[in-house]
A = this chain, B = another copy of it.
Amino acid sequence: MRETFGEYIKRLRTENGFTLTQLAAKLDLDSANLSKIENNKREFDERRLSLLSDVFDLDLAKLRTEFFSDIIAKKIYENNCDEETLVLAEEKVAYLKSKNPITI
């Protein structure tokens, strides 16, 4: 998706006609801090993802994908990581999965 997680929240909010104060209340958040989140000056707390999915009736799994991909993208961007980084990361994920027993 061609937007950050903050921009995504802002779009959801405005498209649904909420003010910062209104959405912040639903997310149990200070409106000033929600503003920072929307403008990529703070991170959204993972523990609020389910609240967010409730408010906008979104699929939580998709929201999580959106959320974690954002964290990863920011890390890569901020640290000027080269293109190989994600390829290597994918290999390492496979390695970790093969290495560790599947948790039931």
Interface residues of A (CB under 8 A from B): 1-4, 61, 64-66, 68-77, 79, 81-82, 84-93, 95-97, 100
Contact = CB atoms under 8 A, between A and B. Distances in A.
Contacts of A72: 72, 75-76, 85-86, 89, 92
Given A64-B79, A79-B64, A69 B95 contact: no
Given A61-B82, A79-B64, A69 B96 contact: no
Given A68-B85, A72-B85, A86-B90, A95 B61 contact: no
A72 B89 CA distance: 6
A65 B92 contact: no
A89 B73 contact: yes
A71 B22 CA distance: 36
A82 B74 CA distance: 18
Contacts of A75: 68, 71-72
Contacts of A74: 92, 96
Given A76-B89, A86-B90, A89-B73, A2 B68 contact: no
